[in-house]
Structure 1
Amino acid sequence: MKVVSKRKLMKQYGFPRRPPPRGPKAVLGDQPKVLGPLERVYQEIAILKKLDHLNIVKLVEVLDDPAEDNLHMGMKQVLPVMEVPTDNPFAEEQARSYFRDVILGIEYLHYQKIVHRDIKPSNLLLGDDGHVKIADFGVSNQFEGNDALLSSTAGTPAFMAPETLSDNRKSFSGKALDVWAMGVTLYCFVFGKCPFIDEYILALHNKIRSKPVEFPEPPTISEALGNLLQRMLDKNPDTRITIPEIKLDPWVTKDGADPLPLEEEHCTVVEVTEEEIQNSVKFVPSLSAVILVKAMLRKRSFGNPFECPSRREERSMSAPGSLLM
């Protein structure tokens, strides 16, 4: 269960906003009604609930207490694929397997016109099926056209792309940001730490902008993996490798012997109806009371399940004949 603030989701840099319809739906006189901030949140929840991909974590249900600020988002139970830093990084074969899952998950999101903006190991969850699933869309953005042109920074400092830290760039490619963060993540997979580290945020920013990528030893990585990391961690987003190019990379495909599926083989456009938007969230008055009652039913007891035993015994001794109502 993930708890998120409705106020934060309604901010412009928070939950992605659905772009206007494309094609026949976009004709004049057939424009959709203008959604309020909270309606946009529910629309995006409807979209996230319909995202259906092996490498995207499944959002099962969202509970909303109208009197509270928080939404409770229930997801399938999975664990982070890696905690960083670690003294036990993955061998190349394991890293390749997990990274291929990340590639397909990101390609699927970009196909839905969503940029994630916060790819990192702790947002990559390992399912019971052994596949990595991308999670946490708290700072993602939805876009129109071929790419998102962003002007604000978001995400985790050590995974931010250098162009977001530049004073010269007014906007930057959302897809290129995801590729950079994927490069940092792959580096973490094989080295157990981020390529740029500093306890001071300004020094960290300076390293990301100007320090070349270095590969510590041990472990010694293959030349093919080193080449891919260099291309993903290219400080110039205009020459940085793209997702279609990554899919064909020799290290990813074992020199073509193990190709990834084509985009059309694993991606379909997600559309939501007005009814699905209306039903995207379950409104539960006094959510804490519902949780309390469910806990009581599970324990088959009408006593307060959160009361300490000593207090319960003390009360029962003072009123031995009383009944709990």
Structure 2
Amino acid sequence: MNMLRRRNLPTSPHTPLTDKLGSLEQKIRKEIAIMKKCRHGHIVRLLEVIDDKLNERIYMVMEYLGGGEIKWRNDQNEPVLRVDQCRRICRDVILGLEYLHYQGIIHRDIKPANLLWTADRQMVKITDFGVSHFSYAQRLAAAGRGQVALDDPNDPILQDDSDLSKRAGTPPFLAPEVISEYTSTDPSPSIGSTAVPHRQPITKAIDVWALGVTMYCLLFGNIPFRAPDSSEYVLYNVICNHDWEPNEMMGCDNEETGGRYPPVTHDGYVVMHLLDRFLQKDVRKRITLDEAKVNTPSLQLLT
């Protein structure tokens, strides 16, 4: 950083580099604008941005997290985390997502690789905002009655909602509403049918779905929706139209799940119930972060 500051950079009054961006640089600029808004214990901090005009590069100086990304399975696709560790990780991610959504930010790529441990392995932070989206309307709704203070509410980078309609993120973690064209439809639905609507709004609920997929990965060492031939077309069909199934045991400590729908009295009920609420294909039935924090029996996961 000091070497870059000492360079004899051009000082003529020309258009800044960040105002002449191509598609990749536009993505970087949007990521910077979003990260500048984030100040939370479970969000990786952006410390400084250096615009190196001489070499036409933009450097993002990030908070260093010595624990690295979460390792959630071994070479045999077996979980390496205990159930209580998965509980702590999900708690931290829920708190981080709650803050992001209040700020009007939809992460769009929640997955284990984008969750980093602090050096002491006591806390997890969300990183990688490369495909994140800022929704001004969502920010207003979260604040209530229009009481909102933004760094720059007129920034066109943050006002552009067109990206939200584009597919972004990691395929196995995409919510059904993002790939709704793969949803099978009933040609003659009955009155009062609870079938999943073919077109559902793309909202912050996509992060809740991705958290559910992440939770499944941490518990079982594999993703809940899989395509046998690694085809994205098949994978998207599976995500939209198939149910998920748990293993008999979860975590490296091999706690019993009790199956897909264990009885309330079973030790695995709380986890399976929460997974079921996270992975609801119908966004209207999917659990919210507030419900995940305070509703019984989900409350037990966060204690």
TM-score, shorter chain, exceeding 0.5: yes
Q: Identify the match of residue 176 of structure 1 among 198, 205, 211.
A: 205
Determine if the alignment matches structure 1 residue 208 to structure 2 residue 197: no
Q: Partners of 1:46 and 1:139 in 2: how far apart? A: 12
1:291 matched residue in structure 2: none
What secondary structure does 2:285 align onto? coil
Q: For 1:89-168, what aligned pairs fall within 5 Å after superposition?
A: 89-129=80-120, 130-146=122-138, 150-167=164-181
Identify unmatched segments of 5+ residues in structure 1: 16-40, 259-325
Q: Percent identity over the alignment?
A: 41
What secondary structure does 1:62 align onto? strand
What secondary structure does 2:47 align onto? strand
Distance 1:200 1:47, change over 3 A: closer
Q: Partners of 2:126 and 2:301 in 1: how far apart? A: 26
What secondary structure does 2:59 align onto? strand
Cα distance, 1:232 vs structure 2: 0.7
Is the contact between residue 69 and residue 115 of structure 2 (CA under 8 Å) also seen in structure 1?
yes
Is the contact between residue 88 and residue 192 of structure 1 (CA under 8 Å) also seen in structure 2?
yes
1:8 matched residue in structure 2: 23
Q: Partners of 1:189 and 1:61 in 2: how far apart? A: 32
TM-score, reference length from structure 2: 0.67
2:191 matched residue in structure 1: none
Which has the larger displacement, 144-153 or 105-114? 144-153
Larger-Rg structure: 1
Determine if the alignment matches structure 1 residue 59 to structure 2 residue 46: yes
Letter in 1 for 2:115: L
Is the contact between residue 34 and residue 105 of structure 2 (CA under 8 Å) also seen in structure 1?
no
Cα distance, 1:196 vs structure 2: 0.9
Structure number with greater CO (CA < 8 Å, separation at least 6) is 1
Distance 1:255 1:164, change over 3 A: closer
Q: Partners of 1:164 and 1:114 in 2: how far apart? A: 17
Q: Partners of 2:105 and 2:215 in 1: how far apart? A: 21
Q: Partners of 2:201 and 2:56 in 1: how far apart? A: 32
Q: Partners of 1:114 and 1:66 in 2: how far apart? A: 29
Is the contact between residue 270 and residue 301 of structure 2 (CA under 8 Å) also seen in structure 1?
no
Is the contact between residue 9 and residue 138 of structure 1 (CA under 8 Å) also seen in structure 2?
no
RMSD: 2.7
Letter in 2 for 1:235: K
Is the contact between residue 101 and residue 132 of structure 1 (CA under 8 Å) also seen in structure 2?
yes
Distance 1:165 1:99, change over 3 A: same
Distance 1:218 1:174, change over 3 A: same
What secondary structure does 1:61 align onto? strand
TM-score, reference length from structure 1: 0.63
Distance 1:115 1:248, change over 3 A: same
Q: Partners of 1:180 and 1:255 in 2: how far apart? A: 17
Is the contact between residue 114 and residue 126 of structure 2 (CA under 8 Å) also seen in structure 1?
yes
Cα distance, 1:126 vs structure 2: 0.5
Q: Partners of 1:255 and 1:46 in 2: how far apart? A: 33
2:70 matched residue in structure 1: 81
What secondary structure does 2:283 align onto? coil
Which has the larger displacement, 60-69 or 152-161? 60-69
Cα distance, 1:217 vs structure 2: 2.3
Distance 1:99 1:251, change over 3 A: farther
Post-superposition CA distance 1:10-69 (Å, at most 9, x none): 54xx46xxxxxxxxxxxxxxxxxxxxxxxxx38x63552452211001112222222445
Q: Identify the match of residue 193 of structure 1 among 193, 199, 222.
A: 222
What secondary structure does 1:226 align onto? helix
Is the contact between residue 118 and residue 139 of structure 1 (CA under 8 Å) also seen in structure 2?
yes
Q: Partners of 1:57 and 1:195 in 2: how far apart? A: 27
Determine if the alignment matches structure 1 residue 218 to structure 2 residue 244: no
Is the contact between residue 165 and residue 202 of structure 2 (CA under 8 Å) also seen in structure 1?
no
Q: Partners of 1:200 and 1:116 in 2: how far apart? A: 25
Letter in 1 for 2:279: L
Cα distance, 1:166 vs structure 2: 1.4
Cα distance, 1:128 vs structure 2: 2.3
Post-superposition CA distance 1:295-324 (Å, at most 9, x none): xxxxxxxxxxxxxxxxxxxxxxxxxxxxxx
Letter in 1 for 2:91: R
Is the contact between residue 55 and residue 132 of structure 1 (CA under 8 Å) also seen in structure 2?
yes
